[in-house]
């Protein structure tokens, strides 16, 4: 009787723990339902297939053919019209295909080397983007500050960050009223991940977040895993690709690659993503076929970059594991434009297949 009582007490104890989420073990015959983590959505950035010259409807059809969950159209020129009626029609098409639209554009820093007056002043550009995003049902409007050349402009990157924050604050109320957050990207070596985090805090994380870019993170000599650690809690959208990094005589070279063909540990990366920003889609923006050297062993390099020993050590560890890669060149006798289009589609499609089949990303089967 005493043994039977202990068995019953143990069973009741284990069942209580399982119900409370403290344990998943139950006696034989009482198997618990497996805990299912929500799947991370998988998408593409239209810049990955920029050589195609497709407008938004064709991009949607292509995304649907790849069974993607999300499409980031990161260039206003890709829309056939920015009027509300055509944008609503595009949203209807996306809804019918089961694809979530994300919208974006380029520099909103009026003093950046990359700023373009095509869309008016920086504030006019941002307000236009917020309206477009709201009409499309996009939760974000992705923008950038500029590029690495901005680090060498008067006042350096800190001054450019301040100018960008001023623009963001000028449009804060419209962002809040629209329900659209501004996603600022770490772009083309302009900001270290910690500098983008500072920009977001200065502007206000209630309406500004990060569009995280793993490729651009390597251009500020950062391990993409560190970039995710620094920006994960701010991340509201993404433009990701893999990196191959290798040592050179004066520093290291970086070549962007298809996912699974570089040095990122995607299983580890996706697991951490699921902890930091699980509702944000992993959007692929492959830009491959060329390498860029960073002569960081020359101290002059650090006159415009922020040298943090721990971050640099992680980057250098990646470089030691890497290997040189050849750039892309269209074969002789082949139409160069067609070769470039095929190359870009191949880079993107291999990435999607790898992330879906090997990492388990994507909601659609």
Determine the pLDDT at residue 37.
62
- Mean pLDDT calculated for residue range 85-110: 98
- CATH at residue 161: 3.20.20.150
Q: Cβ–Cβ contacts within 10 Å for residue 8, how many?
A: 10
Q: At 170, is the pLDDT very low, low, confident or very high (cuts 50, 70, 90)? A: very high
Its pTM stands at: 0.90
Kindly tell me if the per-residue pLDDT of 9 is higher than 50: no
Mean pLDDT across the chain: 92
d(CA 174, CA 193): 26
Determine the pLDDT at residue 259.
98
Determine the pLDDT at residue 249.
98
Q: Cβ–Cβ contacts within 10 Å for residue 203, how many?
A: 23
Which residues are CB-contacts of 74 (< 8 A; sequence separation ≥ 6)?
A: 45, 46, 47, 103, 104, 105, 142, 239, 285
Q: N- to C-terminal Cα distance for the chain?
A: 54
Looking at the chain, the whole-number percentage of residues with pLDDT higher than 70 is 90
- Mean pLDDT calculated for residue range 7-18: 41
Please check whether residue 25 lies inside any domain of the structure: no
- Mean pLDDT calculated for residue range 65-74: 98
- Mean pLDDT calculated for residue range 45-52: 98
Please check whether residue 363 lies inside any domain of the structure: no
In tens, the pLDDT along 177-207 reads 999 999 999 999 999 999 999 999 999 999 9
Domains in the chain: how many in total? 1
Determine the pLDDT at residue 36.
56
Please check whether residue 337 lies inside any domain of the structure: yes
Please check whether residue 24 lies inside any domain of the structure: no
Determine the pLDDT at residue 299.
96
Determine the pLDDT at residue 365.
73
Please check whether residue 77 lies inside any domain of the structure: yes
Kindly tell me if the per-residue pLDDT of 28 is higher than 60: no
Please check whether residue 308 lies inside any domain of the structure: yes
Kindly tell me if the per-residue pLDDT of 74 is higher than 50: yes
Kindly tell me if the per-residue pLDDT of 6 is higher than 80: no
Please check whether residue 97 lies inside any domain of the structure: yes
CA nearest to 114, candidates 125, 127, 103 = 125
Kindly tell me if the per-residue pLDDT of 31 is higher than 50: no
Q: At 5, is the pLDDT very low, low, confident or very high (cuts 50, 70, 90)? A: very low
Question: CB of 167 within 8 A of CB of 112?
Answer: no
3-class DSSP state for residue 193?
helix
Q: What residues make up the domain containing 142?
A: 42-357
Which residues are CB-contacts of 267 (< 8 A; sequence separation ≥ 6)?
A: 359
In tens, the pLDDT along 282-312 reads 999 999 999 999 999 999 999 999 999 999 9
Please check whether residue 159 lies inside any domain of the structure: yes
Q: Cβ–Cβ contacts within 10 Å for residue 315, how many?
A: 24
Kindly tell me if the per-residue pLDDT of 12 is higher than 60: no
């Amino acid at each position: 009787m005493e043994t039977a009582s202990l068995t019953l007490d143990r069973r009741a104890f284990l069942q209580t723990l399982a119900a409370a989420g403290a344990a998943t073990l139950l006696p034989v015959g009482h198997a618990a339902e497996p805990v299912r983590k929500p799947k991370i959505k998988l998408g593409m950035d239209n810049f990955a297939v920029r050589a195609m010259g497709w407008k938004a409807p064709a991009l949607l059809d292509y995304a649907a053919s790849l069974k993607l969950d999300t499409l980031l159209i990161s260039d206003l020129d890709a829309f056939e019209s920015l009027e509300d009626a055509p944008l609503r029609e595009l949203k209807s098409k996306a809804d019918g295909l089961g694809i979530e639209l994300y919208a974006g554009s380029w520099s909103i820093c009026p003093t950046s080397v990359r700023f373009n007056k095509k869309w008016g002043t920086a504030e006019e550009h941002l307000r236009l983007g917020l309206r477009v995003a709201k009409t499309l049902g996009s939760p974000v409007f992705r923008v950038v500050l500029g590029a690495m050349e901005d680090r060498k402009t008067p006042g350096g990157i800190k001054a450019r960050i301040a100018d960008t924050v001023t623009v963001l604050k000028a449009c804060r109320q419209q962002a809040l009223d629209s329900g659209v957050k501004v996603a600022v990207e770490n772009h083309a070596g302009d900001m270290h991940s910690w500098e983008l985090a500072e920009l977001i805090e200065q502007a206000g994380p209630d309406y500004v977040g990060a569009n995280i870019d793993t490729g651009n993170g390597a251009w500020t000599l950062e391990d993409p895993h560190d970039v995710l650690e620094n920006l994960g809690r701010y991340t509201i959208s993404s433009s990701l690709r893999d990196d191959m990094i290798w040592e050179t005589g004066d520093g290291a070279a970086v070549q962007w690659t298809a996912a699974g063909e570089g040095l990122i540990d995607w299983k580890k990366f996706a697991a951490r993503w699921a902890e930091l920003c699980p509702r944000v889609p992993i959007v692929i923006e492959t830009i491959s076929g060329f390498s860029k050297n960073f002569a960081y062993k020359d101290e002059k390099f650090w006159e415009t970059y922020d040298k943090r020993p721990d971050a640099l050590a992680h980057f250098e560890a990646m470089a030691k594991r890497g290997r040189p890669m050849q750039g892309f060149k269209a074969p002789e006798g082949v139409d160069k434009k067609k070769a470039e289009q095929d190359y870009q589609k191949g880079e993107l499609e291999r990435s999607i297949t790898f992330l879906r089949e090997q990492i388990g990303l994507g909601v659609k089967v």
